[in-house]
């Protein structure tokens, strides 16, 4: 589960989208998935006196919540309706305002033409529950129930409740229905999340039977959870001895949410964002950390949790959303019968979020926080931001839209005035939370820098305020506004696979606070209104800046300076509290703690009646892969793959360049080359003009390292550089011209050595991001390091994306860096460009175009004109030479013990990974290894690492394409104990009788959920282009997965699971010595 409570002000990461218009980009049209149903009982009436007594709750149990005793009611079948028609051919909605349907009244029906959806708003007649349905031909149906949860403290009650509600319910009284459904479903998304003022339970799936299965589980979990004291101790917090059975051992705190938030609040960025929010919202619910401050989580009691559920998780406080092509009536009938009909209305007005009490004058605050693991200059670690409280979100959606555009104009890209005044002037990156955030009732805007000297804090603040005052007089250039509007248009056209989820997230700030939930999807109307108002009022932007920034006294300036003692202080305070508690324990209480731990362990290990949960079966999985038609031609001597797809007027172009003959000394610079190719200017355009041209004509030009391990041989690796771009069809010529500028050599190409100050600024920004990522993304670093000696692909991944790259950048701009090293960067980058883009020996291997087929002749002509001057190299694709160089430079491909590393970093929790080399994609063992990863995750590691160990997460995964198998833990309080758990997992999987046929069935469902995840039209054909994985090879692997037996899984576990380990974790709790037992202990900067 996810908490967004500690998110920074600018952008609460409920989604991965950059802005609102991205999160609601046009939905993808998916193919039919299997809708074969399980055997179901027919609809019947059944309700005994015992059931009536069970369903009627006392006032003492429910607090202010009123749940009505129910009369005998219909039991609705889980099966989808017979003869269900999906997609375009579905039955059209015929509802109108005032219509009654299954206990709901329709309050509004409207068409959103630009997204081809019909939005139906309803209200439940008895409870007042609000419901919004978005009818669409999209078969990736989404459902979400949200409750307004407004904490009054930082105990994390809403977050702990979100976890505990999923630990068993009235209809499904097993210990963990949520995680069990993960392996009994083909869902495309399944989670729960806590935001600053709401908790949501969303899922999506393409399978109709799966939709109704998940609907039943989610409704019961949210409205009728068990909320036992035992589950509260597991998910929230508990006291336990280090050896749970030894009352004389050291006392510790455990709990999933407790450790999750220790990890979440370990980084300076998260602490800084939390401080900004706390200061900007001094009196409202947003002042508190709804995810929970670890020290306050320990104050939460089980009774407070139960009471919070009673007052918040009620239909009168519920906002229910559905999306897709399944019949609305069928969902409404189930929602009413399974949940809402059992309640009466209650008054929830006390849960309304009040507007913040506005400051009459600005405030300034200085605080301390945790240092990043890697910093460029120890004397420049301060972060400072200025934040404003802005508009009421639900009352004026158009003002939200204007401010989003203004935020982009203010901070995005090198032409933005605040970028120039701050990032370029001080040579430091933006602070966490920079940008406009409209996820709360009242929006905010923050901007600042991190990685500055503490004495420069006032200068940064002055520069921000001066820039705002200037813009209140001058406004923005028209071409920059046009470029932002172009991005909005392009994003609204982009076909997405998760439109329903994006809409579910984006509507909440409006809907929860009394606004129009459909307003965020009216992008076209907002763009037209913006253009009209700009035409009518040339001073519109000046007025907006003056009102919301220059004349707005509700402004706070927060400066945070890290201290090496910060995390030590937190650990010391926790240790002191535990010591005090332990000293006060009498023998009886010690025995009680041991008994509670043993009781929890028994509950965690007890067999579960999972047969009560609905499930799909492997027979519901289509036996055939979904095939994609690709056409191949040669254009000017270059092989081109054409994928005719419904991309809604957007053309996508991919270019793949061969890196196999790149001189070895240039390889470490490849990540810098990828990130800087489009950042330094090219030809007649400086870096600002180039950024503006890219923004005004394309959806972005992305450059990244790619590469494919052979499907037949793990030691054959094809390293490549991928250039990807997309644009509206009308801008295709401009886009190709921009790519040509980036791949041209000499004075007309990239200005590698013309902008030394800007280059250093970009490297400083990258160094700051990398330094912060070591603690926050420790699992990624642990994984790539654990796999670095196993295959050429793993070696390159670690060299270019692991801690060696962090160290390289640190050596370029960090304290004590050699100026000669920095001076060598543009020379190395230009050498890479010369190697790849020389016209007489181009390393362009192949090209791919995805778009609408009727435009392909025009695209082919434009491509031909661009490609004609280039002569493909005859030696491209030489995978052996590069692979050998990578392997030799990074060490032997060793497995087994003796390759273990502990990276000590400033963090309160740890990330542990253990990897082993396996087999290539086409090997007969690839399929059972893939299933083994699913089995270990759900049947062993989840219980041992999360439930018992208290980590936020843990699991295992086989990567058939890279030939590795990895076990890992996330935000883990343990280190070596988890490594032992990984070893125990391997041993467990080899034992007879530990895995049932049902376990195997569920593992296959999880595997196919991963294999069959929706792919946007623009991405169909990309695995063939990048990995050489055609549909026939995919079909063979699919058939092999379907055929895996229990004996196959046990056999591969016995044969392959001896592994390397890597830990990124708490520097104060390193339990191994360097060189002892095969362990290497390093700091992140080594």
- What is the per-residue DSSP string for 530-555? HHHHHHH-TTHHHHHHIIIIIT---E
Angstrom distance (rounded) from CA 449 to CA 471? 20
Q: Is the predicted pLDDT of residue 953 greater than 60, yes or no?
A: yes
Q: How far is CA 98 from the centre of its chain?
A: 40
Q: Place 872 in a pLDDT band, splitting at 50, 70 and 90.
A: low
Q: Is the predicted pLDDT of residue 870 greater than 80, yes or no?
A: no
Angstrom distance (rounded) from CA 1021 to CA 1084? 39
* Nearest one of 422, 413, 424 to 476, comparing CA atoms: 413
* Nearest one of 993, 973, 990, 1010 to 1052, comparing CA atoms: 990
Angstrom distance (rounded) from CA 1038 to CA 99? 47
* Nearest one of 228, 376, 243, 378 to 303, comparing CA atoms: 228
* Nearest one of 522, 626, 508, 519 to 139, comparing CA atoms: 626
Angstrom distance (rounded) from CA 365 to CA 353? 25
Q: Which two tokens stand for residue 64?
A: 């202010």
Q: What is the pLDDT of residue 376?
A: 72
Q: What is the pLDDT of residue 75?
A: 66
Least confident of 47-51, 515-519, 659-663: 47-51
Angstrom distance (rounded) from CA 771 to CA 734? 37
Q: Place 1066 in a pLDDT band, splitting at 50, 70 and 90.
A: confident
DSSP annotation of 1062: E
Q: What is the pLDDT of residue 1068?
A: 66
Q: What is the pLDDT of residue 499?
A: 92
CB atoms within 10 A of CB 995: 23
Work out whether strand 141-148 and strand 318-324 pair parallel, antiparallel, or are unpaired: antiparallel
Can you tell me the mean pLDDT for 800-818? 88
Angstrom distance (rounded) from CA 865 to CA 876? 22
Phi/psi for 82 (5° steps) reads -65, 155
Q: Is the predicted pLDDT of residue 705 greater than 90, yes or no?
A: yes
Residue-wise pLDDT for 63-72, tens only, equals 333 444 343 3
Angstrom distance (rounded) from CA 148 to CA 351? 7
Q: What is the pLDDT of residue 898?
A: 46
Q: Is the predicted pLDDT of residue 60 greater than 60, yes or no?
A: no
Q: What is the pLDDT of residue 52?
A: 25
Angstrom distance (rounded) from CA 1 to CA 179? 10
Tell me which H or E stretch contains 467: helix 457-474
Beta bridge partners of 105: 100, 123
Q: Are 264 and 243 in contact (CB under 8 A)?
A: no
Q: Rg (Cα) of the chain, in Å, rounded?
A: 29
Q: Are 198 and 187 in contact (CB under 8 A)?
A: no
Q: Is the predicted pLDDT of residue 1084 greater than 70, yes or no?
A: no
Tell me which H or E stretch contains 368: strand 363-369
Q: What is the pLDDT of residue 817?
A: 82
Residues with active-site annotation:
162
pLDDT above 70: percentage of residues in the chain? 88
Tell me which H or E stretch contains 202: strand 198-205
* Nearest one of 371, 482, 435 to 13, comparing CA atoms: 435
Work out whether strand 910-917 and strand 1060-1066 pair parallel, antiparallel, or are unpaired: antiparallel
Q: Give SS3 for 705.
A: strand
DSSP-H helix ranges across 206-301: 208-223, 229-235, 256-264, 268-280, 294-297
Q: Are 101 and 124 in contact (CB under 8 A)?
A: no
Express the helix, strand and coil content of the chain in percent, nearest 5 each. 45, 20, 35
Spell out the residues 6+ positions from residue 13 whose beta carbon is closer than 8 angstroms to its own: 4, 7
Residue-wise pLDDT for 676-695, tens only, equals 999 999 989 999 999 999 99
Angstrom distance (rounded) from CA 859 to CA 951? 51
Residue-wise pLDDT for 279-334, tens only, equals 999 999 999 999 999 999 999 999 999 999 999 999 999 999 999 999 999 999 99
Phi/psi for 614 (5° steps) reads -70, 155
Q: Give SS3 for 648.
A: coil
Least confident of 761-770, 1021-1030, 1059-1068: 1059-1068
Q: Is the predicted pLDDT of residue 487 greater than 50, yes or no?
A: yes
Residue-wise pLDDT for 321-348, tens only, equals 999 999 999 999 999 999 999 999 999 9
Tell me which H or E stretch contains 450: strand 442-452
Q: Place 495 in a pLDDT band, splitting at 50, 70 and 90.
A: confident
Spell out the residues 6+ positions from residue 689 whose beta carbon is closer than 8 angstroms to its own: 681
Distances (CA, A) of 1017 to 13, 630, 749, 917: 25, 12, 32, 33
Tell me which H or E stretch contains 958: strand 953-959
Can you tell me the mean pLDDT for 75-98? 86
Q: What does the CA dihedral 443, 445, 451, 457 come to, rounded to 10 degrees?
A: -120
Q: Place 2 in a pLDDT band, splitting at 50, 70 and 90.
A: low
Q: Is the predicted pLDDT of residue 1064 greater than 80, yes or no?
A: no
Angstrom distance (rounded) from CA 58 to CA 935? 42
Q: Are 913 and 966 in contact (CB under 8 A)?
A: yes
Angstrom distance (rounded) from CA 369 to CA 1049? 47
Q: Are 655 and 844 in contact (CB under 8 A)?
A: yes
Distances (CA, A) of 245 to 240, 311, 596, 1054: 9, 38, 10, 31
Q: What is the pLDDT of residue 62?
A: 34
Q: Are 139 and 87 in contact (CB under 8 A)?
A: yes
* Nearest one of 133, 121, 128 to 97, comparing CA atoms: 121
Spell out the residues 6+ positions from residue 735 whose beta carbon is closer than 8 angstroms to its own: 651, 653, 697, 698, 701, 725, 726, 727
Q: What is the pLDDT of residue 322?
A: 98
Q: What is the pLDDT of residue 123?
A: 98
Can you tell me the mean pLDDT for 371-382? 83
Residue-wise pLDDT for 882-939, tens only, equals 555 665 654 444 333 447 888 877 777 888 999 999 999 999 999 999 999 999 999 9
Angstrom distance (rounded) from CA 676 to CA 663? 19
Average pLDDT, whole number, for the chain? 87
Q: Place 16 in a pLDDT band, splitting at 50, 70 and 90.
A: very low
Q: Place 92 in a pLDDT band, splitting at 50, 70 and 90.
A: confident
* Nearest one of 830, 782, 451, 907 to 672, comparing CA atoms: 830
Q: What does the CA dihedral 581, 585, 588, 590 come to, rounded to 10 degrees?
A: 60
Q: Which two tokens stand for residue 107?
A: 């309050």
Q: What is the pLDDT of residue 1058?
A: 65
Q: Is the predicted pLDDT of residue 166 greater than 60, yes or no?
A: yes
Can you tell me the mean pLDDT for 352-365? 95
Angstrom distance (rounded) from CA 221 to CA 449? 43
Q: Are 1053 and 989 in contact (CB under 8 A)?
A: yes
Q: Place 1069 in a pLDDT band, splitting at 50, 70 and 90.
A: low
End-to-end, the C-alpha distance of the chain in Å comes to 34
Q: What is the pLDDT of residue 1057?
A: 87
* Nearest one of 289, 275, 235, 242 to 259, comparing CA atoms: 235
Can you tell me the mean pLDDT for 442-464? 96
Can you tell me the mean pLDDT for 663-669? 93
Angstrom distance (rounded) from CA 266 to CA 1059? 29
Residue with the bigger pLDDT between 815 and 444: it is 444
Angstrom distance (rounded) from CA 611 to CA 613? 5
Residue-wise pLDDT for 743-762, tens only, equals 999 889 999 988 899 999 99
Spell out the residues 6+ positions from residue 292 whose beta carbon is closer than 8 angstroms to its own: 3, 5, 154, 155, 156, 157, 159, 160, 257, 258, 261, 300
Burial of 854 (0-12, 13-18, 19+ CB in 10 A): exposed
DSSP annotation of 196: S
* Nearest one of 784, 962, 792, 802 to 879, comparing CA atoms: 792
Q: What is the pLDDT of residue 903?
A: 81
Work out whether strand 953-959 and strand 964-972 pair parallel, antiparallel, or are unpaired: antiparallel
CB atoms within 10 A of CB 1051: 16
Q: Place 881 in a pLDDT band, splitting at 50, 70 and 90.
A: low
Unique residue bearing structure tokens 């020290």: 295
- pTM for the full model? 0.86
Q: What is the pLDDT of residue 887?
A: 54
Q: Is the predicted pLDDT of residue 119 greater than 70, yes or no?
A: yes
Q: What is the pLDDT of residue 233?
A: 94
Can you tell me the mean pLDDT for 13-34? 30
Angstrom distance (rounded) from CA 669 to CA 566? 35
Q: Are 1049 and 988 in contact (CB under 8 A)?
A: no
Angstrom distance (rounded) from CA 426 to CA 429? 9
Query: How many helical (H) and strand (E) elements, i.e. helices and strands, does the chain have?
Result: 39, 31
């Amino acid at each position: 589960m996810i908490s967004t409570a500690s998110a920074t002000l600018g952008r609460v990461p409920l989604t991965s989208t950059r802005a609102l218009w991205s999160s609601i980009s046009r939905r993808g049209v998916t193919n039919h998935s299997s809708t074969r149903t399980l055997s179901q009982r027919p609809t019947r009436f059944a309700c005994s006196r015992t059931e009536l007594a069970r369903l009627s709750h006392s006032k003492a149990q429910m607090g202010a919540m009123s749940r009505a005793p129910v009369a005998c009611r219909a039991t609705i079948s889980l099966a989808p309706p017979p003869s269900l028609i999906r997609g375009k051919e579905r039955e059209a909605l015929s509802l109108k305002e005032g219509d009654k349907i299954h206990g709901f009244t329709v309050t509004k029906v409207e068409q959103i033409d630009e997204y081809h959806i019909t939005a139906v708003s309803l209200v439940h007649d008895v409870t007042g529950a609000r419901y919004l349905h978005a009818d669409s031909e999209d078969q990736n149906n989404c459902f979400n129930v949200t409750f307004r949860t407004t904490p009054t403290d930082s105990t994390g009650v809403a977050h702990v409740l979100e976890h505990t509600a999923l630990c068993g319910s009235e209809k499904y009284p097993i210990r963990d229905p949520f995680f069990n459904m993960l392996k009994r479903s083909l869902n495309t998304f399944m989670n729960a999340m806590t935001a600053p003022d709401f908790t949501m339970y969303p899922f999506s799936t393409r399978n109709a039977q799966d939709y109704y299965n998940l609907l039943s589980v989610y409704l019961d979990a949210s409205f009728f959870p068990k909320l036992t004291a035992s589950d509260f101790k597991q998910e929230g917090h508990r006291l336990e001895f280090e050896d749970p059975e030894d009352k004389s051992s050291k006392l510790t705190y455990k709990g999933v949410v407790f450790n999750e938030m220790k990890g979440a609040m370990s980084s300076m960025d998260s602490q800084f964002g939390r401080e900004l929010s706390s200061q900007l919202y001094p009196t409202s619910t947003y002042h508190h950390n709804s995810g929970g401050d670890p020290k306050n989580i320990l104050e939460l009691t089980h009774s407070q949790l139960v009471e919070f559920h009673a007052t918040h998780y009620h239909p009168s406080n519920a906002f229910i959303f559905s999306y897709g092509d399944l019949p609305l009536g069928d969902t409404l009938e189930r929602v009413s019968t399974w949940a809402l009909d059992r309640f009466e209305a209650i008054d929830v007005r006390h849960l309304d979020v009040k507007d913040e009490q506005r400051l009459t004058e600005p405030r300034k605050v200085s605080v301390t926080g945790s240092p990043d693991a890697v910093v460029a200059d120890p004397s420049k670690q301060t972060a400072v931001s200025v934040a404003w409280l802005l508009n009421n979100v639900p009352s004026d959606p158009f003002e939200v839209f204007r401010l989003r555009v203004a935020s982009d104009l203010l901070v995005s890209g090198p032409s933005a005035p605040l970028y120039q005044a701050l990032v370029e002037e001080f040579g430091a990156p933006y602070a966490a939370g920079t940008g406009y955030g409209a996820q709360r009732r009242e929006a905010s805007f923050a901007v600042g820098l991190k990685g500055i000297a503490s004495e420069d804090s006032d200068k940064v603040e002055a520069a921000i305020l001066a820039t705002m005052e200037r813009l209140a007089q001058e406004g923005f250039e028209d071409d920059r506004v046009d470029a932002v509007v172009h991005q909005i248009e392009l994003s609204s056209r982009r076909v997405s696979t998760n439109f329903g989820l994006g809409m579910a997230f984006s509507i909440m700030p409006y809907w929860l606070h009394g606004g129009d939930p459909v307003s965020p999807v009216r992008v076209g109307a907002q763009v037209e209104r913006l253009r009209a108002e700009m035409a009518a009022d040339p001073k519109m932007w000046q007025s907006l800046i003056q009102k919301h920034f220059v004349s707005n006294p509700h402004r706070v300036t927060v400066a945070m300076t890290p201290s090496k003692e910060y995390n030590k202080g937190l650990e010391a305070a926790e240790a002191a509290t535990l010591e005090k508690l332990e000293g006060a324990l009498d023998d009886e209480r010690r025995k009680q703690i041991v008994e509670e731990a043993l009781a929890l362990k028994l509950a965690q290990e007890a067999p579960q009646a999972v047969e009560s949960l609905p499930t799909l079966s492997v027979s519901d999985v289509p036996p055939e892969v979904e095939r994609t038609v690709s056409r191949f031609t040669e254009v000017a001597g270059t092989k081109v793959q054409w994928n005719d797809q419904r991309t809604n007027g957007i053309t996508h172009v991919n270019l793949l360049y061969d890196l196999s003959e790149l001189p070895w000394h240039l390889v470490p610079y490849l990540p810098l080359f990828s990130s800087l190719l489009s950042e330094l200017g090219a030809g007649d355009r400086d870096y600002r003009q180039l950024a503006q041209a890219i923004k005004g004509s394309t959806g972005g030009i992305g450059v990244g390292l790619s590469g494919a391990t052979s499907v037949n041989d793990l030691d054959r690796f094809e390293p490549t550089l991928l250039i990807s771009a997309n644009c509206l069809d009308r801008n295709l010529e401009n886009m190709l011209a921009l790519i040509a500028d980036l791949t041209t050599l000499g004075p007309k190409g990239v200005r590698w050595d013309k902008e030394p100050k800007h280059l250093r600024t970009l490297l400083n920004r990258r160094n700051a991001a990398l330094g912060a990522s070591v603690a926050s993304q420790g699992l990624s670093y642990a994984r790539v390091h654990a796999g670095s000696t196993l295959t050429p692909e793993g070696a390159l991944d670690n060299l270019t994306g692991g801690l060696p790259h962090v160290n390289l950048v640190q050596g370029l701009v960090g304290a004590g860096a050699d100026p000669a090293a920095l001076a060598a960067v543009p020379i190395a980058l230009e050498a890479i460009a010369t190697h790849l883009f020389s016209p007489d020996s181009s390393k362009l291997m192949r090209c791919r175009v995805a778009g609408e087929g009727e435009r392909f002749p025009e695209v082919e002509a434009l491509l031909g004109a661009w490609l004609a001057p280039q002569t493909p190299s005859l030696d491209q694709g030489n995978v052996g030479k590069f692979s050998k160089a990578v392997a030799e430079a990074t060490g032997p491909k060793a497995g087994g013990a003796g390759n273990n590393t502990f990276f000590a970093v400033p963090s309160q929790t740890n990330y542990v990974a253990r990897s082993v080399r396996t087999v290539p994609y086409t090997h007969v063992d690839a399929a059972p290894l893939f299933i083994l990863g699913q089995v270990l995750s759900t049947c062993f590691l989840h219980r041992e690492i999360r439930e018992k160990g208290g980590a936020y997460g843990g699991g295992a995964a086989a990567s058939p394409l890279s030939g590795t198998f990895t076990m890992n833990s996330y935000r883990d309080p343990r280190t070596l104990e988890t490594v032992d758990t990984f070893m125990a997992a391997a041993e467990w999987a080899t034992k007879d009788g530990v895995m049932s046929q049902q376990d195997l069935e569920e593992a296959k469902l999880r595997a196919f959920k991963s294999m069959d995840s929706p792919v946007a039209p623009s991405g169909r054909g990309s695995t063939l282009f990048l990995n050489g994985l055609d549909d026939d090879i995919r079909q063979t692997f699919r058939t092999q997965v379907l055929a895996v037996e229990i004996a196959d899984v046990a056999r591969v576990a016995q044969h392959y699971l001896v592994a390397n380990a890597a830990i990124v974790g708490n520097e104060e709790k390193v339990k191994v010595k360097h060189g002892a037992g095969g362990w290497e202990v390093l700091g992140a900067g080594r």
